[in-house]
Amino acid sequence: MDSVEKLLIQYLPVLIAAVIAFFLVFSALIGSRLLAPFSIEKQKADTYECGMIPIRSANTNIGIRFYFYAILFVIFDVEALFIFPWAVSFIALGPESFIFMSIFIFILLIGLAYAWKKGALSWR
């Protein structure tokens, strides 16, 4: 219980920083609202697009390649998270843990090679 409390107190500044940062942005927006001129004109609120009036909404379909990168990112980021606890303790754990981790990294490299061969990594 004591150690948990200690850990939480350690992260108290993080919470304070988040709250202060929120109020920084908030007060800046309020300050600008008080200082800056505001005139609502219909033309002004048009979307900026080379002076033309845009046709349709801009939120359309997105190329599939972005999803490939996103999926690969999830795989490799989770892998990196697995390596973190190992990286700070593997010398104490000895050669056995190193062998397990190298098998893990090797499998991931095979996965990367597979994605490469399938063309998921090439930007078309």
Partner 1 sequence: MISFLVVNPFIDSLLKILSIVGLMTVSAMGLIYLERKIAARFHMRLGPTRTGPAGLLQSVADALKLVGKEDIRPASADAWSFELAPYFVFIPAFMMFVTIPFTLMLNVEMLTLGLLYIIAISSVSIVGWVMAGWGSDNRYALIGALRAAAQGISYELPLVLSVLCIAMIAQSLNLNEIIAQQTIVPNILLQPFAFFLFFTSALAEMNRAPFDIPVGESEVVGGPFVEYSGIRWSMFFLAEYTALLIMSILIVALFLGGWSWPFGEKLGTSWQILLTIMKTSLVIFLIFWVRVSVPRMRIDQLMNFCWKVLIPLALIQIFLNGLILVFHLPTFLLAVSSIMLMGVLVLIINKSMQNLNKNHIVKNNLESA
Q: Is 110 in the site for partner 1 (CB under 8 A)?
A: no
If one asks whether residue 24 binds partner 1 (CB under 8 A), the answer comes out as yes
Interface residue with partner 1 among 42, 51, 61, 64 (CB under 8 A) is 42
DSSP 61-103: ---THHHHHHHHHHHHHHHHHHHHHHHTTHHHH-HHHHHHHHH
List CB contacts of 47: < 8 A, sequence separation 6 or more. Answer: 54, 58
- Is 32 near partner 1 (CB under 8 A)? yes
Asked if 11 is part of the footprint of partner 1 (rule: CB under 8 A), the reply reads: yes
User: φ and ψ at 38, to 5 degrees?
Assistant: -135, 115
CA distance 45 to 26: 22
Question: Interface residues with partner 1 (CB under 8 A)?
Answer: 9-14, 16-18, 20-22, 24-25, 28-29, 31-33, 35-39, 42, 44-49, 54, 57-59, 62, 66, 69-70, 72-73, 76-77, 80, 83-84, 87-91, 94-95, 98, 101-102, 105, 108-109, 112, 116, 121-123
